[in-house]
Structure 1
Amino acid sequence: MTLLLEEGKNAEIKANSTYAIVAITKHGVELARKLHSVLQTGDVYYMSKFEKGDEENAGIKMFDGSVRLLLPSLFQNYKGIILIISLGAVVRMIAPLLKDKKTDPGVVVIDDKGEHAISVLSGHLGGANELTREIAELIGAKPVITTASDVQKTIPVDLFGKRFGWVWESADKLTPVSASVVNEEHVAVVQESGEKGWWTYDRPLPDNIKTYLGIKHALEAKPSAALIVTHRNLQPQEEAILENGVLYRPKVIVLGIGCNRGTKSSEIESVIENTLTELNFSIKSVKAICTIDLKKDEEGLLEIVKKFGWEFHWYLPEELNTIPLQQPSETVFKFTGAYGVSEPAAMLYSGAKKLEIVKKKSGNVTISVAVIPFE
């Protein structure tokens, strides 16, 4: 199949992979085919005049017309775009397509001889830096990455904790805080929960980045910027730390839930929100809902985890009964074979020795809350 690219019309393409690999020269086509064979993922596009006859079987797509007309569709359909085209031409062609670094795809440029792989766009959030390194290793090219935090081997503020699933409370201060990091200003890091393995370089933290036991201590040190990692909502006296700070939400809250059959998702969601507000916890830090195997097909629970992207885990009664309970229930045992549902489910998943809320009954819902221990 050959795509006919025309002015004023977006190319109708179907993405079968995460990445698009595009070439417009003879040598570029050979490189694109090589990269396709070793990358194990990627849809290849090249001009039909370089047809070799095996494109259909290889899943390669050809096009007629200017590659510039292909790019709008690629931007809409792929996470990353690998262009074997000169850097200057790429910059001119993608400029009208740029919207926001949080949504633009990662763009990597490779020269015609495959000597350099260059991270051009969305190096962090779009994954272009990581993709550049991967491509360079696969084809024996030199990776070219100019992002300051990567060059200096310091904390990339917009990627901090991303591999663990941490999310920002707000992206408003990402740019100024990043500037403080790379300009070697005093940056405070306060972590109250979440994974500890966020520093991945084989050297100590840079001298300008200091860790503090709490927000109070960090405020007293008067840093230029701050990175705060916590599942709780800050107190009014603590919020000054965010004047030039980013608040990260680690996935550490585990909700144990039991409910009557047929309980609507809206009721379950309301109980969750009210409970987290009572605890002063952020819903963005919820990691999972846990329950008993009898509820593994409960529509209300399934709708909630799908809406928020949370994990959903259920346990057999004998697994739940391995956890000593403060409030074992003979009634629950009679109907389920377990002496409790929400409490032991939350403790089993989280590994916590105590619960933030042991058991709260609200309408058709029973909820327990645990926080994955931070040691």
Structure 2
Amino acid sequence: MNKPFAAVAITKHGVEMARSLAETFPAADLYYMSKFARGDEAVKDYRLFEGSVKLILPDLFKAYKGIILFISLGAVVRMIAPILEDKKKDPAVIVIDDRGEHVISVLSGHLGGANELTREVASAIGARPVITTASDVQQTIPVDMFGRAFGWVIESFEKATPVSASVVNEERVAVVQETGESNWWMYDKPLPSHIKVYGSAAEAMNTDYDAALVIADRLLEADEEAALLRNGVLYRPKSLVLGIGCNRGTAADEIEAFILDTLTELRLSVKSVRNIATIDLKKDEQGLIDVCTKYGWELITYTPEQLNTIPLKNPSETVYRYTGAYGVSEPAALLSSGAADWLLEKKKSGNCTISVTRVRFDNDAGNDGEAAV
């Protein structure tokens, strides 16, 4: 069980299609009833089972991110009902009819990826994909997946359902985008007239709307939360870069605490940090590595020569003597983010220095990183 998907068949025709799919869709492990054994299962690493498929489904749910069932839709609904947990945990489930004419997205269409899996499998077997999710059918914003391709993180799912209803029911929706990628509209048609995009919370709050999608890396003020998140969802784009310098052997706990304190002071969300940037002398610094591992951040390093290409307001001869660079945190943050200026040029505490920049996205026009803080 080392592949992301499991394909399961319980009929003669289903086994035929499943074996064919296994050849064209190698991301799936294949399971079918032992009475349909061909003798080549061990060689092809196909799994055989006895008795009802219902008995193996709980284990498959835990082991795979998606399950492809060559079983009737009604039977599948009855079998999976007792083992469902939560839309954020349940795997994708899709169903294929016994003639291989339709591939149906059944469970976890968005978060679990069933809709995309449905399209991929339908293409592989020449079937028709059947997707009933309202946002897909209407070709509009999928609230629970908005920005996911860019790595955006939803702050809370509490209002995702009512906000989704507002989107698909064509109520007035305000998209407040202060930073992050702006090329999120995925359809080859204009943005619907009931969806309006605003560049700031203040701009949106001066208008009338029924629901809000807020894309920001800063902590909202109390009045903004009350107005925008009453029926709104807050997304955290990966828009912040932390330039870090530290003494050799600095503990991860010290680095982490310094980062969190600094972001709190700047009223920025740790969920919007994209990566840490530093000098290549620190590429093996265990404290930095441990913090990056904990938060899922990439550690990007630069040579002294690369760092010295960035003009600094306060170059340090002391840092140059030790590293060959006139600064570490400040130029590393600018190089990594592409920003023209810092949100925080440099702050030192204990064994660490930190600089903070906002990523300059391709869609930015004149935003050099200091706005909206």
For residues 321-373 of structure 1, give each alpha carbon's deviation from its aligned partner in whole angstroms, at most 9, with x where no partner exists. 11111111111111111111111111111000001111111100010101012
Give the structure 1 partner of residue 111 of structure 2: 125
Aligned equivalents of 2:356 and 2:197: distance in 1? 28
Cα deviation for residue 48 of structure 1 reads: 1.1
Write the distance in 1 (CA, Å) between the matches of 2:71 and 2:202. Answer: 52
- 1:277 corresponding residue in structure 2: 264
Find the aligned partners of 1:237 and 1:68 in 2 and give their Cα distance. 51
Give the C-alpha shift of residue 222 in structure 1: 2.1
Instruction: Select the residue among 291, 294, 297 that pairs with 2:281.
Output: 294
CA distance in 2, matches of 1:87, 1:192: 43
Q: Deviations over 1:222-279 (max 9, x none)?
A: 2100000010011122111110000000001000001111111110011000110111
Aligned to 2:319: 332
Q: Which amino acid aligns with 1:352?
A: A
Q: Please name the residue that 2:126 is paired with.
A: 140
- Whether 2:56 is the aligned partner of 1:79: answer no
Cα displacement string for residues 175-209 of structure 1 (whole angstroms, at most 9, x for unaligned residues): 00000001110000010100111001000011111
Alignment of 1:198-209 (within 5 A): 198-209=184-195
Match of 2:208 among 197, 202, 222: 222
Matching of residue 192 in structure 1 with residue 178 in structure 2: yes
Question: Which of 52, 55, 75 is the aligned partner of 1:69?
Answer: 55
Task: Report what 1:242 is aligned to.
Answer: 229
Residue in 1 that maps onto 2:368: none
C-alpha distance in structure 1 between counterparts of 2:357 and 2:19, whole Å: 50
2:15 maps to what in 1? 29
Structure 1 residue 213: deviation in Å?
2.6
Match of 2:81 among 72, 79, 95: 95
Task: Provide the secondary structure at the position in 1 that maps to 2:193.
Answer: coil
**Counterparts of 1:215 and 1:341, CA distance in 2:** 34
TM-score by length of 2: 0.95
Q: Aligned to 1:83, what secondary structure does the other structure show? A: strand
- Between the aligned partners of 1:64 and 1:200, the Cα distance in structure 2 is 45
| Aligned partner of residue 43 in structure 1, secondary structure | strand
Give 1:116's aligned residue.
102
Give, in whole Å, the separation in 2 of the partners of 1:53 and 1:111: 25
| CA-CA distance at 1:17 after TM superposition | 0.5
Deviation, structure 1 residue 40: 2.3
Counterpart of 2:253 in structure 1 is: 266
Residues 1:372 and 2:372 aligned together: no
Return 5+ residue gaps in structure 2 as ranges: 365-373
Structure 1 partner of 2:146: 160
How big is the shift at 1:318? Answer: 1.0
Determine the C-alpha separation between the residues in 1 that align with 2:287 and 2:119.
43
Give the Cα separation in 2 of the matches to 1:148 and 1:301.
44
Q: Say which SS state the counterpart of residue 171 (structure 1) adopts.
A: coil
How far apart, in 1, do the equivalents of 2:357 and 2:203 lie? 26
Deviations 1:55-114 (A, max 9, x none): 112111111111000000000111000000010100000000111111100000001111
Distance between the aligned counterparts of 2:357 and 2:3, measured in 1? 38
Measured after TM superposition, the shift of residue 27 of structure 1 is 1.0
2:345 is aligned with 1:358: yes
Query: Which residue does the alignment assign to 1:16?
Result: 2
Instruction: Write the distance in 1 (CA, Å) between the matches of 2:314 and 2:168.
Output: 52
CA distance in 2, matches of 1:271, 1:171: 29
Q: Please give the secondary structure, in 2, of the residue aligned with 1:221.
A: coil
**1:179 aligned partner, one-letter code:** A
Quote the RMSD (CA, aligned, Å).
0.8
What is the 5 A alignment of 1:26-65? 26-65=12-51
Counterpart Cα distance in 2 of 1:372 and 1:23: 48
Distance 1:77 1:326 in 2: 54
Identity score, percent? 65
CA–CA separation in structure 2 for the residues paired with 1:116 and 1:38: 17
**5+ residue gaps in structure 1?**
1-14
Q: CA shift at 1:298, angstroms?
A: 0.7
Distance 1:352 1:186 in 2: 34
SS at 1:62's partner residue? strand
Instruction: Tell me the TM-score normalized by structure 1.
Output: 0.95
Q: Which 4+ stretches in 1 moved above 2 angstroms? A: none
Aligned to 1:10: none
1:177 to 163, 178, 189: 163
Matched with 1:345 is: 332
How far apart, in 1, do the equivalents of 2:260 and 2:199 lie?
Answer: 29
Q: Which of the residues 276, 293, 298 maps onto 1:306?
A: 293
Q: 1-side partners of 2:203 and 2:216: how far apart?
A: 15
Q: How far, CA to CA, are the matches of 2:240 and 2:26 in structure 1?
A: 36
| Aligned residue type for 2:180 | G
Number of aligned pairs?
Answer: 361
Equivalent AA in structure 2 for residue 258 of structure 1:
G
Distance in 2 (CA, whole Å) between partners of 1:296 and 1:77 is 35
The letter for the 1-side match of 2:86 is: D
The secondary structure found in structure 2 opposite 1:352 is: coil
The answer for the alignment partner of 2:369 in structure 1 is none
